[in-house]
Amino acid sequence: MTLPRLKSLDELQPGDRYELGRLTFSLEDIREFARRYDPQPFHLDEEAARDSVFGTVVAAGLHTLSACFGMLMASPLLQEISLAGSAMDIRWPAPLRPGEEVTVSVEVIEVTRSRARKDRGSARLRYVARRVEDGVVVLDATGLHHLRR
Amino acid sequence: MTLPRLKSLDELQPGDRYELGRLTFSLEDIREFARRYDPQPFHLDEEAARDSVFGTVVAAGLHTLSACFGMLMASPLLQEISLAGSAMDIRWPAPLRPGEEVTVSVEVIEVTRSRARKDRGSARLRYVARRVEDGVVVLDATGLHHLRR
């Protein structure tokens, strides 16, 4: 799939939706992120994870978030218009396990033009990761992006 | 500083505050995270960053968040009671630059006991990273933690 390289915030409309691709973590991917940023036993150790509420190793929520956000930022979509980000609200409704494949999409929720600066504005973008097998959402995050016009 | 190893959610009270320590990113730390999870020019390249709204390389917001969260999860505080996390609301009021030192603290905002499961509950914990030099907050995040009682 080819995503457009936007030239202006004005090309975004609430309701627009882009598919960013698919993502799968191996057990070692999950453990590598967790060792640095969330060293809880149920992200690191299969035996310890058996006694956790998850029953198996699951990805750190910040890992899923960072990887999905990275797919957006590595895509052409915002490369010419992204100025900064300043806020994010995140929900992890279900865990993500090693080997599970998710699709990652981004949807435009709101677009605001700056009154003070005619060359910029902001957009609320919602990133959703959904398990391919059963459609369950494992990440639902909305970020506030400051963008060029 | 030694943080306690909590045995139960009941040991947390709204208003409790713990200092997690200090944190500094080198330019290479910032670039390493950004290459994988937020490859925008102002996180990767000093020359490109000069033309950005920041004027210099700044850390990816998810990097600051992940590192601060990692300090909490590597500390003894929640090691025996953390079951899962399911939500987070984040603000990045100011950028974090290479070499800038921040202090990281966590504050208890709210504690809720489960009615259905007497052995667990949840707490809203707020993580704040503040630049040592001028006290400016660079990260203000509140996470929903599911904890043992």
Report all structural domains of chain A as residue ranges with CATH numbers, in order of start: 9-25+59-148 (3.10.129.10)
Interface test with chain B among A32, A88, A120, A148, by most B beta carbons within 10 Å: A88
- In the three-class reduction of DSSP (H, G, I as helix; E, B as strand; rest coil), residue A7 is classed as coil
Q: Give the position of tokens 């963008």.
A: A147
Q: What angle do CA A89, B110, A52 make, to 5 degrees?
A: 75
Cα–Cα distances in angstroms (integers) from residue B60 to residues A4, A92, B57, B70, in the given order: 24, 21, 9, 15
> What is the pTM for the complete model shown?
0.97
Q: CB-side exposure of B23: number of CA atoms within 13 Å?
A: 28
Q: CB-side exposure of B136: number of CA atoms within 13 Å?
A: 11
Asked if residue A25 has pLDDT above 90, the reply is: yes
Predicted confidence (pLDDT) per residue in A32-91, tens digit: 999 999 999 999 999 999 999 999 999 999 999 999 999 999 999 999 999 999 999 999
Any B CB within 8 A of A116 CB: no
At A140 the pLDDT is 98
How distant is the alpha carbon of residue A46 from its chain centre?
25
Predicted confidence (pLDDT) per residue in B20-42, tens digit: 999 999 999 999 999 999 999 99
Task: Give the A:B interface size as CB pairs under 8 Å.
Answer: 82
Q: CB-side exposure of B108: number of CA atoms within 13 Å?
A: 18
Contact A53 B84 (CB under 8 A): yes
Nearest to B70 among A37, A73, A89 (CB): A37
Interface test with chain B among A37, A43, A63, by most B beta carbons within 10 Å: A37
Query: Is ipTM > 0.85 here?
Result: yes
Contact A37 B146 (CB under 8 A): no
The C-alpha atoms of residue A118 and residue A112 are separated, in whole angstroms, by: 11
Residues 6+ apart with CB under 8 A from A51: none
The C-alpha atoms of residue A101 and residue A130 are separated, in whole angstroms, by: 8
Nearest to A82 among B37, B40, B87 (CB): B40
% of chain A residues with pLDDT over 70: 99
At B1 the pLDDT is 60
Q: Which residues in chain B are closer than 8 Å to A62, comparing Cβ atoms?
A: 62, 65-66, 69
- β-strand partners of B90: A88, B141
How many CB atoms are closer than 10 A to CB A8? 14
The C-alpha atoms of residue A70 and residue A6 are separated, in whole angstroms, by: 17
Distance from CA of B27 to the nearest CA of A (A): 17
Nearest to B53 among A83, A87, A91 (CB): A83
Asked if residue A2 has pLDDT above 90, the reply is: no
Q: Phi/psi of residue A4, each to 5°?
A: -70, 155
Predicted confidence (pLDDT) per residue in B86-110, tens digit: 999 999 999 999 999 999 999 999 9
Contact A87 B92 (CB under 8 A): yes
Nearest to B62 among A38, A69, A95 (CB): A69
Contact B90 A87 (CB under 8 A): yes
Residues 6+ apart with CB under 8 A from B113: B9, B121, B149
The C-alpha atoms of residue B84 and residue B114 are separated, in whole angstroms, by: 14
Q: What is the DSSP letter of B10?
A: G
The C-alpha atoms of residue A101 and residue A124 are separated, in whole angstroms, by: 26
Report long-range pairs for A46-54 (Cβ below 8 Å, ≥24 apart). A52/B83, A53/B83, A53/B84, A53/B146, A54/A95, A54/A97, A54/B84
Q: What is the DSSP letter of A41?
A: H
Cα–Cα distances in angstroms (integers) from residue B31 to residues A80, A116, B74, in the given order: 19, 32, 23
Pair B135, B103: CB distance under 8 Å: no
Q: Give the position of tokens 């040991």.
A: B11
Asked if residue A103 has pLDDT above 90, the reply is: yes
